[in-house]
């Protein structure tokens, strides 16, 4: 299968080229040139999430350099579960995507991309240098995924003093082939530095550079697997197709669900839960498409004013009415996030991270009739322990820390201070 740019200005490429390039040369995002069609029966032989991922991705990787290794890659990436946990008394279930090494859903996509890139680079003569600017979650997932992979080095740039202590530990605890840089500046400075590095002749002469950022097809497509697995599990006994509420920022997670339904998986409604960054809900409400500056909220990994994957959504649904038929969206502000965390802890004993709380709030507001068309599943995108500084004061007790995170907290932390200048980065790499 070939992948084309959403902007139509560069040639179609195979799967592995789309993964290595990240962005298409014309600045667009890669999307499949054709869509395979699945029926639930196509997955009857699959006994694990990894096997469902393999079957789902296989037609996209058909004929590609990675096709033969796809089974190993999906086994590597999907090495932890995505359980569907009914929330007793609430009338919906929770798809827990936080059982990976950095306790957020980004681990799935980052690990798939890392496993793929490592295989594509086995005969490379120069090291691959992955540069990531991060304001928190992405850098941790990418660092963990590429940690100790031969032939690959990772430089994580984060704004010193502007990420939470918990997040900083997840960026700085790796060592080996992962280097963390505490940049004296803002997240925008980090991003500017990374962009400058990509076009710097001196660095390009030394390394093959890549970004591994969340618009990469190799992070997006594998995320469709947990939606496929959930819809298959819930319909196996003759149940209705499940509907999902997805905490959304850059729309990568939601788009994966849309793609899963598009290729034939039994999925009902798809509802996007946004924080106060409301570009997508406003567009679905009939207002003009208007990207904007991001607003800082408690659900910081969703603070996106100009979601990149909207370009892929619009490639699939060019008319607004078609997008409106495909997805709906709601806005949840910080006060509602705080209240939902406290109320659901009191009512059910459950603890949400601030991102997952936006989805729980959407469920709490939903009318009985729509709810009855379920089953409904909310997507838990991160473990609350990652955001304990926010969550603990609201619930009045400590958040139990899962073993995966506890291990990271015990590792020694090292980071290199960096001035936000290209010559400084050049010298430090
Ligand atoms: C990245 C992230 C999101 C937003 O996901 P998108 O794919 O950018 O829409 C939501 N919750 C958490 C915890 C995240 O890390």
Pairing of strands 30-32, 2-5: antiparallel
Q: Given this model, what pLDDT does residue 163 score? A: 84
Q: Give, for 320, the enclosing helix (H) or strand (E).
A: helix 320-326
Q: Which of 104, 275, 362 to mutate to test the pocket of ligand 1 (most atoms within 8 A of CB)?
A: 104
CA torsion 17-22-24-28 (nearest 10°) is 140
Give the nearest ligand 1 atom to 299 CA.
11
Alpha-carbon gap, residue 337 to 358, rounded angstroms:
6
Give the nearest ligand 1 atom to 137 CA.
15
**Averaged pLDDT, groups of 10, the chain, 429 residues long:** 95 95 89 97 97 98 97 97 96 97 95 94 86 85 94 92 86 95 89 87 88 89 98 93 97 97 98 97 96 90 91 96 98 98 98 98 96 94 94 97 92 94 94
- Token duo for residue 415: 């980071």
Query: What SS3 state is found at 4?
Result: strand
Q: Given this model, what pLDDT does residue 22 score? A: 86
Question: Does 33 reside within a domain?
Answer: no
Q: Given this model, what pLDDT does residue 93 score? A: 98
Q: Given this model, what pLDDT does residue 374 score? A: 84
| Total domains in the fold of the chain | 1
Question: Does 135 reside within a domain?
Answer: no
Instruction: Report the predicted TM-score, pTM, of the whole model to 2 decimal places.
Output: 0.95
Domain that holds residue 323: 81-105+218-399
Give the nearest ligand 1 atom to 304 CA.
8
Q: Which of 164, 224, 253 to mutate to test the pocket of ligand 1 (most atoms within 8 A of CB)?
A: 253
Question: Does 304 reside within a domain?
Answer: yes
Pairing of strands 270-274, 92-96: unpaired
Q: Given this model, what pLDDT does residue 410 score? A: 92
What is the CATH number for 232? 3.40.50.1100
Contact 83, 99 (CB under 8 A): yes
What are the DSSP calls for 330-392, one per residue?
EE--HHHHHHHHHHHHHHH-----HHHHHHHHHHHH--HHHHHT--EEEEE-B-GGGGHHHHH
DSSP state of 185: S
Tokens 């139509």 sit on residue: 8
Pairing of strands 84-87, 13-14: unpaired
Question: Does 228 reside within a domain?
Answer: yes
Question: Does 261 reside within a domain?
Answer: yes
Whether ligand 1 lies within 6 angstroms of the CB of 137 is answered as yes
Question: Does 365 reside within a domain?
Answer: yes
Whether ligand 1 lies within 6 angstroms of the CB of 159 is answered as no
Expressed in percent and rounded to 5, the helix, strand and coil fractions of the chain are 45, 15, 40
Distance 302 CA to ligand 1 centre (A): 5
Distance 253 CA to ligand 1 centre (A): 7
Whether ligand 1 lies within 6 angstroms of the CB of 21 is answered as no
In angstroms, the Cα distances linking 402 to 117, 146, 395, 405 are 29, 21, 18, 6
Question: Does 250 reside within a domain?
Answer: yes
Cα angle at 315 between 314 and 318, to 5 degrees?
55
Alpha-carbon gap, residue 4 to 30, rounded angstroms:
5
Question: Does 76 reside within a domain?
Answer: no
Distance 360 CA to ligand 1 centre (A): 15
Distance 247 CA to ligand 1 centre (A): 7
Whether ligand 1 lies within 6 angstroms of the CB of 251 is answered as yes
């Amino acid at each position: 299968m070939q992948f084309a740019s959403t902007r139509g200005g560069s040639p179609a490429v195979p799967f592995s080229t789309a993964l290595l390039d990240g962005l298409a040369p014309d600045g667009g995002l890669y999307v499949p040139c054709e869509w395979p069609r699945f029926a639930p029966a196509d997955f009857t032989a699959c006994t694990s999430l990894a096997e469902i991922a393999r079957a789902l991705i296989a037609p996209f990787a058909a004929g590609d350099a990675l096709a033969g290794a796809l089974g190993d890659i999906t086994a590597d990436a999907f090495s932890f579960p995505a359980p569907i946990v009914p929330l007793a008394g609430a009338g919906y279930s929770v798809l827990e995507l936080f059982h990976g090494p950095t306790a957020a859903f980004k681990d799935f996509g980052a690990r798939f991309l890392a496993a793929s890139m490592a295989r594509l680079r086995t005969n490379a003569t120069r090291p691959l240098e992955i540069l990531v600017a991060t304001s928190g979650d992405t850098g941790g997932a990418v660092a963990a995924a590429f940690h100790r992979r031969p032939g690959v080095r990772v430089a994580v740039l984060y704004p010193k003093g502007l990420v939470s202590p918990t997040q900083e530990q997840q960026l700085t605890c790796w060592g080996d082939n992962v280097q963390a840089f505490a940049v004296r500046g803002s997240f925008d400075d980090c991003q500017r530095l990374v962009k400058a590095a990509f076009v710097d002749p001196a660095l390009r002469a030394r390394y093959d550079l890549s970004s591994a950022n969340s618009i990469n097809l190799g992070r997006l497509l594998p995320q469709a697997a947990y939606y496929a697995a959930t819809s298959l599990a819930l319909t196996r006994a003759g149940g209705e197709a499940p509907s999902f509420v997805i905490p959304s920022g850059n729309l990568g997670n939601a788009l994966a669900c849309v793609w899963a339904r598009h290729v034939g998986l039994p999925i009902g409604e798809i509802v996007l839960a946004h924080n106060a960054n409301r570009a997508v809900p406003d567009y679905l409400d009939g207002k003009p498409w208007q990207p904007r500056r991001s607003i800082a909220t408690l659900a910081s990994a969703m603070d996106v004013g100009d979601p990149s994957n909207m370009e892929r959504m619009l490639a699939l649904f060019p008319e607004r009415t078609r997008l409106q038929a495909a997805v709906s969206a709601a806005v949840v502000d910080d006060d509602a996030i705080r209240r939902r965390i406290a109320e659901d802890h009191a009512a059910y004993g459950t603890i949400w991270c601030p991102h997952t709380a936006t989805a729980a709030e959407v469920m709490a507001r939903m009318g009985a009739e729509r709810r009855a068309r379920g089953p409904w599943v909310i997507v838990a995108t991160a473990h609350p322990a990652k955001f304990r500084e926010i969550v603990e004061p609201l619930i009045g007790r400590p958040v139990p820390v899962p073993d995966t995170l506890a291990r990271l907290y015990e590792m020694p932390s090292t980071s290199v201070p960096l001035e936000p200048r290209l010559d400084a980065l050049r010298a430090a790499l």
